Every structure is written in structure tokens, then in C-alpha cells.
Structure 1
Amino acid sequence: MADSKREIERKYEATDATRLPDLSRVAGVSAVEHLGLSELDAVYYDTEDLRLAADSLTLRRRTGGGDAGWHLKFPVATGIRDEIRAPLSDTLPPELAALIRSRVRDAAVVPVVRLRSARDVHRLTGPDGAPLAEISVDAVRAERLHGGSASTAWTEIEAELADDGDPAFLDAVERRLRKAGVRPSAAPSKLARALAETGPKGKPGGKRPRPHTAGDHVLAYVRDQNAAIVALDPAVRRGLPDSVHRMRVATRRLRSAFRTYRGILDRSVTGPVAEELRWLAAELGVDRDQEVLDERLRTRLDGLPRTLVLGPVRGRLRIWSVARRSGSRRHTVAVLDGSRYLELLGTLDALLADPPLLPAAAAPPGKVLSRAVHKDHRRLARRIAHARELPPGPERDVALHKARKAAKRARYAAEAARPALGKPARKSVKRLKAVQGVLGDHQDSVVAREALRALAVQAHLAGEPSFTWGLLYGQEEETAAARERELPGVWARASRAKIRTAPEG
């Protein structure tokens, strides 16, 4: 079974002649313990076209040292990675294979580099004897296994923070190393260095070209959302906080872009893809919607004085929540493992490789994008006006929910156009987000009231007091009314955030 670890480390250049300075002089260090020399042998795996390395992921099978096994590392920030470990085996463990599936799809994972390291380790400990960090001097020999047969060698120093350590401690270590003439490594990882030094010589891949046309801007946005879906897949599988929500938002942004910018991307091609994205967002929502509702009801309940909580309210809420969420995460993972989802990812890749651009895509972005943004803004205005004309009640609630969806679409349209249209688009995004927030809280209140009524009925039938459920229901009614009173002012501010055509060129 795989487990995970947050790895915080820094790498430094060294030579065979490099010697560690006296690290006992680092602030907070009471002792430096020499742990000795170990021999590590690691084979790194990737697809033939190095898809994992392209996203700064590393997958290896390592023997030697105290953590032999399979290791999969995900970048978190500079010098910070999440390492997923599985026991040593001859083949790639299924739990790690699942975490790279969104990137590798059906491609084979093959050995690409072998690294053999002689590691000399020193442990820094504090006054209480607790470890602060491990400093390793690694003499590395790298051999290319796929895409060539070159080899290379180097020496580096690695400073890895102890579990739950303060990252600021590594700053103190670095100051000491720099005083001794040691400098940070230019390579982010051993694998990256090995691939660079043993691979074909040529110009490294540069940054994405700056967008110039309307089509360039829309495709850049589509590409970013597609990349977000792929990158968030393993986070969803791992159950990381907010990952389902963020993946769902990426699918909605992508679908919205296809609908808003149908004058740039051929709708006959993007339409079926948008429907598949709609399916995926709905599947992801099975768990997310209940999570949001649970949190809302718990927060409401926690805000009540004890004297107003009559009967086994918390227990009933907990049982109700568990029953509704039972199996929801397993369902989400099953969706990600399914062929329909993988086919969708493949379709998106194909669309980006050969985008269905219409003639307007070649035009300068200002007028083309601003027209599309204005169209979605007018659509939102009509929906808000219609909702406000209706009397309070279920019909108005439905109309406000439709306005909320239109607010999302208008906001996403402005987001996609922001690089081309500049400050006006940024202001519009900010104010439309406020409109979406007001309408979203209103809709969450509608859903919460439905749940509270059902819970009150269950409590009544079980002979329990329903007073507290009714009290919470009343609070949600007041919340909805407050959001409706707030809407005109928020919408007026959003309406004033006009987007003008940006200068061309």
C-alpha cells in the first residue's frame, strides 16, 4: 500500500573535492551525526516521449538505502514535492499507475535513466536530539536507457528538511554552505539533469509563444484548463482538499469557452466535447455538492447556542451525511478510471493539436473577444432582470439559479479575454465574481432548505424534536432574502465595469 511524504529539499553544486563546512555552527544545531555511506541504484520510468518529465514528475524504482521501493514525486512548489511511496516490486504498483494515468493514458512506461549514487549522509540535530535535516553528498553516475546510450557523472549536495521541520532552517544551512563557496544547483532534480546531459543536443524547449490573434488567446485559455484537468486528476484520486472542486471548475471553464467563443472555434467540433465536459462536471459534483452542503449545515448548527439544540440533532445530521456520501469518492475514482473519461482527455488533446479555427480566429483579439464577452454580459443582464420581476418563491429561485450559471459564464468569458483586454477585463472578472458569489449563496440556501425540511420530517417521524431544524430553516430563509436585497447593488457595480475594445497590435 502506498504512503505519502512531503519532501522539502535544496540541491547544490559540488565536485569530488568539495567538503562540507562545519554545520554545527548553523543556528539551532547541537550535533552533526555522520550516518555513513550508502549505495543507491534507481531506475527512472517515463513514456517514450517523456510526458512525466515534461510536467516535472519523477517515477523511480530504487534499491539501497533506507527507503527502497517505488517513488512517485509531484511538484508542489520550488524545492517542495509530494513523494508517494510503494513497496519494492518487479512491476509498477497499480496505485502509482493510477496516479499517472491522466498523463500517460495508454502509453507504455519504460526505463529511461539509471542513476547510481554513492551517498554520504550527515544528520543535523537540535538541543532535544530531534533531527532538523539531513545533508547528503551524492556522487552520481547517470546512464541513458531510452533515447540514447550516453552517460554522465556529477557530484551534488542535498539538504533535506526533517519531517514537520521549519523551512526557514534550510535558509540557515544555505547561508553556511554559501560561505564555504557552495552554490545552488541549476537543475531542479537529478533526473532533469541526467536527461539534459544524456539527451540529444539541441535547443531546449522555450516558453509558449505570446498570443497575437483572437484564436491564440482562446486556445491559450483552453490549453490551460485542459492542463488543469490533467494535473488535478492525481490530486482527486488522493483525496486532496479542494481538488474535486478545482477540477470541476476547470471543466466548466473549458465548456464555457467553447460556448462563448463559438465564433472562433467551430461549434460542430467543440459541441460534442462540451457535452462530455458537462457529463464530467456532473460526475465530479456527486461528492462536491454534498461536501458543500454538509459544511454549510454543520456551520449553521455550530453557531447555535446549546439551549436551542433540542434532540439528537448532531447525530442525525452525521448519519444523514454519511449515508448520502457513502461511496461517493469511490464513484469519482471509478469515473476517472473509466474509458469515457480517458477518451475525453484524448479528444481534448486532438482538438488542441488540430484546433477547429474559424476565420474570425485570425483577427486581432480586441473586437472579437470583447464582442463575445459583451454578449455573455447581456445574457446575464436579461436573466437577472427576469428573476427580479418574479414574486418570491420557487419560480424566482429557479430563475436566480439560471442567472448564477450565466454569471459564471460571463466571468469565465472575461477571464479568457483578460490577457488581451487588460485592466477592464480584470475589473469585470472581479465584479462578476461578486455577483456569482451572491447568487451562489442564494442557491446554496435553496438547497440547504430542502435538506433541512427533509431532516425535520425524519426527526418528527422518529419522535424527535424538530424545533432546531425549523430554526435553521428560518436562518436560511433570511440568508436568501438578504442575498436578494444585496443583488441589485452588486449587479449595478458589475454593470459599470465596461470592457472596451483593446488597442490592436
Structure 2
Amino acid sequence: MAETKREIERKYASDKGGLPDLTGVAGVAAVLDKGLVELDATYYDTADERLARSSVTLRRRTGGSDAGWHLKLPIAPHVRDEIRAPLSDTVPDELAALVRSRTRGAPLVPVVRLRSSRDVRHLVDAAGTLLAEASVDEVHAERLNRAGGTARWTEIEVELADGGDPAFLAKVDKQLRKAGVKPSASPSKLARAFRETGGVGARTPVPAKPVTAGDHLLAYLRTQRDAIVECDPAVRRDLPDAVHRMRVATRRMRSTFRTFGAVLDRAVTDPVAAELKWLAGELGADRDQEVLAERLTAALGDLPPGLVHGPVRERLTTWAGARHSHTRGHLVAVLDSTRTLALFDTLDALLADPPLRKKAAKKPEAVLGAAVRKDFARVSRLVAAALDLPPGRDRDGALHEARKKAKRTRYAAEAAAPALGGPARSLAASMKSLTGLLGDHQDSVMARDTLRELSVVAHAAGEDAFTYGLLYGREEARAAAAERELPRLWKRIDAGADL
């Protein structure tokens, strides 16, 4: 079974002078010699080194206290999640699955072997608590998959202890720099090994600074494509908010295709948008369940104990858990499907050879601005039409439609913001406020439907349904409050729109 460790570390170049004295670092009471460790790691990647291009590493390592398979996923500068699996002869299935959005089924083969002699020191405080591990590594790199060669170097690595304060590494960094030690030019040993033994194959060219309308949209679309691919392992690991972030990225791409049809040929993008809609729908089954469960659990927690009649909490927990378990298993199967992997390939191909129309070559201010204004006008009409309806199911549906168009307008404004500046950012913020209000209203609609279903089941089981009715009434009041607030909010938005 894989385990995860948050790895926070910094790497430094070394001239073989060893580790400078670190006893002067604030908080360090002693530097303990932990001896020499011999490490032998074989790194795996696709033949065209897709993991390396994504700053992802997968290795099989022997030696040291953590021998086994290690998958490292980038989180932020100097921060990675290291996912470990027991030592075996082949890549563990659970780790292979976590890189599938990048490998797309291509075989994982040995690409680099790193053998390191690691001289380890522990930095501890006055109580003997480990603050960080500092080591001097003598590294021998050997290229395995291409006619590259070998390389040798020495580096210093400082890794924060589990649960430590990242600010401590800044103190160590200051001491090392004072001693003349410079940060490494490579973010990892593997990156340096690639560089010094033949480079990384076929890198995607770095796009130039956006100039035209098409440039700006493609930059935005690339960001969303990357987010979708990078969220895949987080969704598989069931990390908080991962499903939501992946789903939002699919929506942003779809909205961009629809709003900016004057720039990107919809004859090409519409089939891609349909596949993105399918994936968003599959993701939505899990996400909608999460939102409802959180909302109803919080509402139940707000009630005084005397108003909770019967096993309401237990029934809600069972309902949420059973549905989440079912939709989650299905979702992982969706991510493993040939349809999803084909979609990822399609997105790559579309961005490599985009279906640009004539207006794509024009200045972005006029082209993007006109499209965003058109979307905003649609939202305005939908809000007005919804407010003309009496409270009830028809208004609920109309407000939901207005919310969906407001989201589309928000994403369009975000895509245009680098070119249009403040007015587009202001509109995006306004649309976020509007979708927040309308989202709370729609969540209330869904919560009431769920409460109605749960109360029927509870009643049939002979349980007191009083609490379900009470929660229903509170949700009804929340929806009414949102509807009262909407005219005031929309008046402010409409008056401030200046795009």
C-alpha cells in the first residue's frame, strides 16, 4: 500500500568542501553525524521522457531507510509529494496509475541510474528533536535509454523534518550562502543527470509573450489543459478539492471555445467541447455529492440537540458515504478509460495546431472585448427574465441558467484579462460574486430535493421526520434570502460594468 510524504527540501552545488558548519543556525543545538549511506536508484520514464518534461520523477531505489518505489509530484518550488510503494521488480500499478494522464499508456522504461554516497547529518534542537536532514551527496549518473553517457558531481541537500516549519530552511539557506555555498542550478538530481548525459528529448517550445487575440486565448487554454492533466493524480488520491479543480478547468476550456468562436473555429472545437462536457459530467457526480454532504452536515450541526429527532446524522452519513464510494470507483475507471486518454491527446494536438480564424491575428482589445460584452448581455437578459417570474420551480430553473451563463462570462473575462486589464478583472470578480449567490440558491434547491428523499425513507422506516422538515424550511429561507439579494447585487454589477 502506497504512503505519501510531503517533501520540502533545497539543493546546493558543492565543490567537495563538505558541509559547512550549521551550528550557528538559529534553533540548531547540535549537528549529529549519522554516517554514510549508499543509495542506488533507477529512474523510469516513457521513451520520450514525458515525466521529466512535467518535473515528475519515478524511481526504484535501494539503500537507506526508505528503499522502495518513489513517485514525486511537484506541488510548489522546493515542495513535492513523495508517494512510496514497497520494493518490487516492476512498477507498482498504483504508481503507474498516478502518472497515466502523462504517459497515456506508453510503457515506463529505465532511463537513468543514480548511485549516491550520502554523508548524512541531522540538525536537532535543544530537546533533540529533528529539524532537518543535511547531506553531502557524491553522485554518479548513468544514462540508460539513450547513447548519453555518465556524469559525476557533488551536491548538498537539506530536507525539512516531517511537520517542520519551512521558514527553518530559509535560516539554513542564509548560513550556507554566507559560507559561499550556492543553490543548485537544477531542481533535482534527475534533472541534472538528464542535462549532463544527453538532455531531455523533444521539449515543447515555450510560447512567446501573447500579442494577438489568438495568442492570449491559446495561453489561457494551455493553462487549463495543464490543470486537467495535473489534477488527474490528485483526483485518484482523493485529495480535497481535486475533483472541483479538474472540473472547473474543463469548464473553462469549454467556455473559451464557445465564447470566442470568432477566434477559434467551432467546427473543430465543438467536438472537443462535447468530450470535455462528458468528462465534467462524470466529475460532477462526485463533486455534487461532496457539496451536498458538506452543506447538510453543517446545517445539521447548527441545530440545537433538542431539535435533532431520530438517527438523522447516521442516515446522512450513510447516504453520503455510500454514494461517494460508488461514484469514486466509477470516476477512477473513467480516468483510466481510453476515452479520457484520447481526450488528453486531442487537447495536446489542438493546442499544437490550433484552428485559428482570421480574427485570431488581430489585436486582442477589440476581438476579445466584443465577445465578453456579448456574454455579459446574455447574463443580463437571463437575470431580468428570472426576476420577472414568481418564486417556484420555474424561477429556480431560470436562475440556474443565469448562473451557468454568468460562469461562462467570468471565464471569458479571465481569459481576456491579460489583454484587457482592469475592466476585465473587475467583471470577472463581479461574475464570481453573482455565481456565488446563485450557486448558494441552486445548492438550496438540490439540498431540499435530497432532504425530501431522506425524509421519505426515514418515515418509511418508522423514524421521526421532524428534523428533515426543519432543515428543509431553513434551506427554503436561504433560497428566499438569495432571491431578495439578487436585484441589489445585479444593480451594482450592471452599474459597474465598463468593458
Equivalent residues in 2 for 1:281-430 (5 A)? 281-430=280-429
Q: Aligned equivalents of 2:205 and 2:336: distance in 1?
A: 33
Q: 1:23 — aligned with what?
A: 22
Q: 1:14 — aligned with what?
A: 14
Q: Does the C-alpha gap of structure 1 residues 359 and 151 become closer, same or farther in structure 2, counting only changes over 3 Å?
A: same
Q: Aligned equivalents of 1:364 and 1:172: distance in 2?
A: 48
Q: 2:476 — aligned with what?
A: 477
Q: Aligned equivalents of 1:201 and 1:268: distance in 2?
A: 36
Secondary structure of the residue aligned to 1:299 is helix
Deviation string 1:392-445 (CA, Å, 9 cap, x unpaired) is 111110111111111111111111111111110000000011011111000000
Deviation string 1:317-355 (CA, Å, 9 cap, x unpaired) is 112222322322111111000111111111111111211
2:363 aligned partner, one-letter code: P
Q: Aligned equivalents of 1:27 and 1:200: distance in 2?
A: 40
Q: Aligned equivalents of 1:104 and 1:319: distance in 2?
A: 37
Q: 1:238 — aligned with what?
A: 237
Deviation string 1:50-107 (CA, Å, 9 cap, x unpaired) is 2211121111111222222211101111111100111222221111111111111132
Deviation at 1:10, TM superposition (A): 1.1
Q: 2:489 — aligned with what?
A: 490
Contact 1:311 1:465 survives alignment (8 Å): yes
1:101 aligned partner, one-letter code: R
Mean alpha-carbon deviation: is it higher for 145-154 or for 110-119? 145-154
Deviation at 1:173, TM superposition (A): 2.3
Q: 1:452 — aligned with what?
A: 451
Q: Aligned equivalents of 2:151 and 2:112: distance in 1?
A: 11
Q: 1:216 — aligned with what?
A: 215
Q: Aligned equivalents of 2:195 and 2:325: distance in 1?
A: 47
Secondary structure of the residue aligned to 2:23 is helix
1:102 aligned partner, one-letter code: S
Deviation at 1:211, TM superposition (A): 1.2
Deviation at 1:273, TM superposition (A): 0.9
Q: Does the C-alpha gap of structure 1 residues 203 and 61 become closer, same or farther in structure 2, counting only changes over 3 Å?
A: closer
Secondary structure of the residue aligned to 1:24 is coil
Percentage identity across paired residues of the two chains:
63
1:11 aligned partner, one-letter code: K
1:105 aligned partner, one-letter code: R
Q: Aligned equivalents of 1:185 and 1:200: distance in 2?
A: 17
Contact 2:49 2:200 survives alignment (8 Å): no
Mean alpha-carbon deviation: is it higher for 52-61 or for 200-209? 200-209
Q: Aligned equivalents of 1:252 and 1:459: distance in 2?
A: 37
Equivalent residues in 2 for 1:136-147 (5 A)? 136-147=135-146
Mean alpha-carbon deviation: is it higher for 136-145 or for 458-467? 458-467
Q: Does the C-alpha gap of structure 1 residues 169 and 201 become closer, same or farther in structure 2, counting only changes over 3 Å?
A: closer
Count of aligned residue pairs for this structure pair: 499
Deviation at 1:280, TM superposition (A): 0.4
Q: Aligned equivalents of 2:202 and 2:22: distance in 1?
A: 40
Secondary structure of the residue aligned to 1:89 is coil
Deviation string 1:223-247 (CA, Å, 9 cap, x unpaired) is 1111110011011011111000000
Q: Aligned equivalents of 1:19 and 1:249: distance in 2?
A: 48
Q: Does the C-alpha gap of structure 1 residues 204 and 313 become closer, same or farther in structure 2, counting only changes over 3 Å?
A: closer
Deviation string 1:103-162 (CA, Å, 9 cap, x unpaired) is 111323222222111111111223333322111100111122234323221111111111
Contact 1:421 1:499 survives alignment (8 Å): no
Contact 1:293 1:448 survives alignment (8 Å): yes
Deviation at 1:496, TM superposition (A): 2.9
Q: Aligned equivalents of 1:202 and 1:446: distance in 2?
A: 52
Contact 1:8 1:167 survives alignment (8 Å): yes
Q: Aligned equivalents of 2:212 and 2:269: distance in 1?
A: 19
1:4 matches 2:4: yes
Q: 1:178 — aligned with what?
A: 177
Contact 1:370 1:499 survives alignment (8 Å): no
Secondary structure of the residue aligned to 1:326 is helix
Equivalent residues in 2 for 1:95-106 (5 A)? 95-106=94-105
Equivalent residues in 2 for 1:12-91 (5 A)? 12-16=12-16, 18-91=17-90
Q: 1:162 — aligned with what?
A: 161
Contact 2:53 2:203 survives alignment (8 Å): no
Mean alpha-carbon deviation: is it higher for 195-204 or for 469-478? 195-204
After superposing on structure 2, the runs of 4+ consecutive aligned residues of structure 1 that deviate more than 6 Å are 201-206
Q: 2:440 — aligned with what?
A: 441
Deviation at 1:206, TM superposition (A): 7.1
Q: Aligned equivalents of 1:325 and 1:51: distance in 2?
A: 32
Secondary structure of the residue aligned to 2:40 is strand
Q: Aligned equivalents of 1:400 and 1:76: distance in 2?
A: 37
Q: Aligned equivalents of 1:498 and 1:450: distance in 2?
A: 35
Extract unaligned runs of 5+ from structure 2.
Answer: none
2:163 aligned partner, one-letter code: D
TM-score (norm 1): 0.95
Equivalent residues in 2 for 1:254-293 (5 A)? 254-293=253-292
Q: Does the C-alpha gap of structure 1 residues 499 and 217 become closer, same or farther in structure 2, counting only changes over 3 Å?
A: farther
Mean alpha-carbon deviation: is it higher for 204-213 or for 58-67? 204-213
Secondary structure of the residue aligned to 1:33 is strand
Q: 2:252 — aligned with what?
A: 253
CA RMSD of aligned residues (A): 1.9
Contact 1:251 1:278 survives alignment (8 Å): yes
Contact 2:256 2:411 survives alignment (8 Å): yes
Contact 1:459 1:465 survives alignment (8 Å): yes
Contact 1:424 1:497 survives alignment (8 Å): no
Contact 1:123 1:133 survives alignment (8 Å): yes
Q: Aligned equivalents of 1:6 and 1:174: distance in 2?
A: 20
Secondary structure of the residue aligned to 1:166 is coil
2:94 aligned partner, one-letter code: E
Contact 2:52 2:200 survives alignment (8 Å): no
Extract unaligned runs of 5+ from structure 1.
Answer: 501-505
Q: Aligned equivalents of 1:329 and 1:203: distance in 2?
A: 36
Deviation string 1:7-63 (CA, Å, 9 cap, x unpaired) is 1111111122x1323333433333332111121111222223322111211111112
Q: Aligned equivalents of 1:202 and 1:389: distance in 2?
A: 60
Deviation at 1:201, TM superposition (A): 11
Deviation string 1:284-321 (CA, Å, 9 cap, x unpaired) is 01111011001000111111111211222212211222
2:487 aligned partner, one-letter code: P
1:6 aligned partner, one-letter code: R
1:158 aligned partner, one-letter code: E
Q: Does the C-alpha gap of structure 1 residues 193 and 499 become closer, same or farther in structure 2, counting only changes over 3 Å?
A: farther
